[in-house]
């Protein structure tokens, strides 16, 4: 049984860094797989067994690769504000580089400004070696580890420009010297600015995680030894009785022992209406208690709580890699050596062929600077971080990036019926009353006799009575007739509620309602007959009622040209009743789990990308066989065992939303990869040809990273599209 260890990784700057950390972790004995994300700065390592020694080995491997590893506690670490360590460096670099830029503009006649060579050297030196010190440290680690990174490219490029300029100035301190101090200083300033903007973009992208973590209370009021004491929430143990006062957030997951109230679970499950809580009901840590005081027995704490699991699932999804990212990583692994070869070639061509060593130096430096693979490394993970974060905000949990990518390609959706398209519990669907009676009388008598029963059909009758405003009368002498129904006296009259067999035993004729009874049979409804003083009053048809959102949800899928299938184990008549009026292309009745599996395989063989929507338990074979499984409701932990996506709110309309969001995320990934690639494909030849000076190359490189980040953050404004 393998385990997943999550480590925070500090010091990564580009896609090459990601590849190097992954290779270092995968070489550790016992590691089965390792996935590193630049956007979340996390590593997910699958190992046989997690112990202190193994964690030390993993941290040592990361350190040997030139980076640092730290343990991660989602509910603790995410509370810490993300402060930029580069902000002061950016400001200082900008101040020191400004006079150098002004002098460069003076060369073009745009401003009247000139710096003495020694003063230019004095301004450029602290930028190069003090503010740029992190680049040198990271580059040295990369060289020691035998690999290339963005930091190495920056160091080689800026050092070459600085060194050539410094030698020229020291040879003729008071003459008219051509130097490139402004290029080296501005490149360092721009790279620092790019990293600052990347940090802020990452912080925005993971804001959904911070919003979830903020829900967890830090203190809990616990009843111990006959009194109430306040302790840290992390010190609560399973079995403790926690006091939830009105308006407080529940400190832990638990079961209500005493009291009645409501819980606002909107920020966790997306359920907009308060949920009633009575003894025996479960509450979720982080939800807000309503107006009643409750005593709650803690059932899950810390990392096992619903909130912690959701945070962990979202973080894991944000840190996972889409299939397209594997290709990007392979490209990044060879990118730096290729760029170094291009830079050397450009210098040699300019020097040996064109006889311009100075021009060759400028071209080589420009190549090294513009080729930094920041944008390439961020293109996919930034979009995934943003997409998974937005999904979590809408109570949609996506298991990993691969699920997100597959979901975007779905063109066929197979729905289970019971509990998915229907409410999953019996409800009153039809009422047929005998001549001289009305629906209210039928329901009033049935609800009165069923008042003391705990049977699901009894609850359905009572719910219908409450729905139409009938307070059930108080029956007397109620007797249960095994397998047939109930009898009792209501306002002095003998009332029977039950099967047709019970009516026949009592000698009650059913002929007056024969057509209605046949119609209920055709619809596959359960019949409950109601009689008073030997006379048939009516018959109630009970069944699993269609969900209120089912019609609009399926129509939204059909409007987007998605093939909709309903597969159910119910009889054909019941399936036809449910499907009537719905936007369903194909109805499959009497479908056992193996038949549902066959349906999925048939659709896939026809070339369709299939999603199965079910409850995550009964539909496990079909969910596993589908290209993507979508579990509606049921809680994050159970649902995601078999499904790649979980709709926590239980609103099947969100299936269309999840597909739309995944398509939007996929579009962002493709756009990001296009821009990241086009900058290098166009920029590298331009830089080698001398069409870009190092400063413009640095600006283009910084802009490419910024463009990728901002394009990904557009997802944060995503809203569900309206029905077509």
What CATH number should be reported for the domain holding residue 513?
3.40.1110.10
Shared domain check, 173 and 126: yes
Shared domain check, 626 and 600: yes
Shared domain check, 203 and 322: yes
With the CA atoms of 387, 388, 394 and 397 taken in that order, what torsion angle do they form, in degrees rounded to the nearest 10? 150
Residue 394 lies in a domain: no
Annotated catalytic sites, by residue?
Answer: 416
Backbone angles phi, psi at 509, to 5 degrees: -75, 140
Residue 328 lies in a domain: yes
Residue 397 lies in a domain: no
| Cβ–Cβ < 8 Å for 533, 493 | yes
**Which pLDDT belongs to residue 330?**
66
Residue 226 lies in a domain: yes
Shared domain check, 202 and 95: yes
Shared domain check, 101 and 185: yes
Shared domain check, 562 and 454: no
Sign of CA dihedral 581, 583, 589, 591: negative
User: Is 662's pLDDT higher than 70?
Assistant: yes
Residue 444 lies in a domain: yes
Residue 82 lies in a domain: no
Shared domain check, 281 and 374: no
**Which pLDDT belongs to residue 329?**
62
Domain residue limits at 147:
87-207+314-385+666-717
**Which pLDDT belongs to residue 125?**
92
Residue 78 lies in a domain: no
Shared domain check, 234 and 134: no
Residue 391 lies in a domain: no
Considering the chain, what percentage of its residues have pLDDT values greater than 90?
A: 8
Contacts of residue 376, Cβ cutoff 8 Å, sequence gap at least 6? 14, 15, 328, 331, 332, 335, 673, 676, 677, 680
Shared domain check, 542 and 431: yes
Per-residue confidence at 83, pLDDT binned at 50, 70, 90? very low
User: Is 75's pLDDT higher than 60?
Assistant: no
Question: Which CA distances in Å does 574 have to 164, 520, 601, 664?
Answer: 84, 10, 25, 37
Domain of 39, CATH number, reads 3.30.70.100
Shared domain check, 171 and 185: yes
User: Is 332's pLDDT higher than 70?
Assistant: no
Contacts of residue 400, Cβ cutoff 8 Å, sequence gap at least 6? 316, 317, 320, 644
Shared domain check, 186 and 266: no
Out of 278, 303, 328, a domain closes at 303
For the chain, how many structural domains are there in total? 5
Shared domain check, 525 and 433: yes
Per-residue confidence at 77, pLDDT binned at 50, 70, 90? very low
Higher pLDDT, 24 or 326: 24
Domain of 259, CATH number, reads 2.70.150.10
């Amino acid at each position: 049984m393998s385990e997943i260890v999550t480590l925070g990784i500090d010091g990564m700057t580009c896609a090459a860094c990601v590849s190097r950390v992954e290779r270092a972790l995968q070489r550790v004995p016992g590691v089965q797989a390792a996935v590193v994300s630049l956007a979340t700065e996390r590593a997910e390592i699958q190992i046989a067994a997690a112990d202190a020694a193994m964690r030390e080995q993993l941290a040592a491997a990361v350190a040997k690769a030139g980076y640092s590893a730290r343990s991660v506690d989602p509910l603790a670490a995410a509370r810490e504000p993300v402060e930029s360590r580069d902000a002061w460096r950016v400001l200082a670099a900008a101040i020191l580089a400004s006079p150098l830029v002004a002098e460069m503009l003076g060369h073009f006649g745009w401003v009247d400004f000139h710096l003495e060579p020694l003063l230019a050297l004095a301004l450029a030196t602290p930028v190069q070696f003090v503010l740029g010190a992190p680049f040198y440290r990271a580059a040295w680690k990369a060289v020691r580890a035998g690999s290339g990174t963005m930091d190495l490219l920056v160091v080689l490029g800026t050092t070459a420009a600085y060194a050539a300029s410094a030698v020229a100035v020291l040879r003729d301190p008071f003459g008219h010297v051509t130097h490139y101090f402004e290029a080296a200083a501005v490149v360092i300033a721009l790279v620092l600015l790019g990293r600052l903007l990347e940090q802020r973009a990452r912080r925005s992208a993971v804001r959904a995680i911070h919003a979830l973590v903020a829900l967890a209370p830090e203190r809990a009021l616990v009843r111990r030894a006959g009194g109430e004491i306040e302790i840290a929430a992390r010190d609560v143990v399973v079995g403790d009785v926690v006091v939830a006062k009105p308006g407080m957030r529940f400190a832990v997951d638990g079961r209500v022992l005493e009291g009645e109230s409501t819980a606002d679970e909107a920020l966790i499950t997306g359920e907009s209406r308060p949920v009633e809580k009575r003894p025996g009901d479960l509450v979720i840590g982080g939800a807000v208690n309503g107006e009643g005081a409750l005593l709650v027995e803690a059932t899950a704490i810390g990392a096992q709580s619903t909130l912690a699991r959701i945070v962990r699932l979202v973080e894991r999804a944000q840190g996972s890699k889409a299939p397209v990212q594997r290709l990007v990583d392979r490209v990044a692994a060879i990118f730096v050596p290729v760029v170094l070869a291009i830079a050397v070639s450009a210098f040699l061509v300019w020097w040996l062929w064109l006889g311009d060593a100075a021009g060759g130096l400028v071209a080589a430096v420009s190549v090294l600077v513009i080729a930094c693979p920041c944008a390439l490394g961020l293109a996919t993970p930034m979009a995934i971080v943003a997409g998974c974060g937005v999904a979590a905000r809408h109570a949609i949990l996506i298991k990993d990036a691969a699920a997100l990518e597959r979901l975007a390609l779905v063109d066929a959706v197979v729905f289970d019926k019971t509990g998915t398209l229907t409410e999953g519990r019996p409800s009153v669907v039809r009422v047929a009353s005998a001549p001289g009676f009305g629906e209210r009388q039928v329901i009033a008598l049935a609800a009165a006799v069923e008042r003391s029963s705990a049977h699901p059909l009894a609850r359905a009758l009572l719910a219908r009575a409450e729905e139409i405003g009938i307070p059930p009368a108080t029956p007397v002498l109620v007797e249960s007739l095994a397998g047939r129904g109930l009898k009792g006296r209501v306002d002095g009259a003998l009332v029977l509620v039950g099967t047709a067999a019970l009516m026949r035993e009592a000698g009650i004729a059913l002929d007056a309602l024969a057509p209605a009874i046949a119609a209920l049979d055709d619809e596959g409804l359960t019949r409950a007959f109601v009689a008073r003083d030997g006379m048939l009053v009516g018959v109630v048809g009970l069944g699993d009622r269609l969900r209120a959102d089912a019609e609009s949800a399926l129509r939204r899928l059909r409007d987007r040209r998605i093939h909709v299938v309903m597969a159910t184990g119910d009889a054909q008549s019941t399936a036809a009743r449910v499907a009537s009026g719905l936007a369903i292309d194909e109805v499959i009745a009497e479908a056992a789990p193996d038949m549902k599996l066959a349906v999925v395989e048939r659709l896939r063989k026809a070339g369709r990308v299939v999603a199965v929507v079910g409850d995550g338990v009964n539909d496990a074979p079909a969910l596993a066989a589908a290209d993507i499984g979508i579990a509606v409701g049921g809680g994050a932990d159970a649902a995601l065992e078999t499904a790649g996506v979980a709709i926590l709110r239980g609103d099947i309309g969100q299936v269309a939303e999840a597909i739309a969001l995944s398509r939007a995320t996929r579009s962002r990934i493709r756009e990001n990869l296009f821009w990241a690639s086009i900058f290098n494909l166009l920029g590298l030849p331009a830089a080698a040809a001398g069409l870009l000076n190092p400063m413009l190359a640095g600006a283009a490189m910084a802009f490419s990273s910024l463009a990728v980040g901002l394009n990904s953050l557009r997802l944060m404004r995503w809203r569900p599209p309206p029905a077509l």
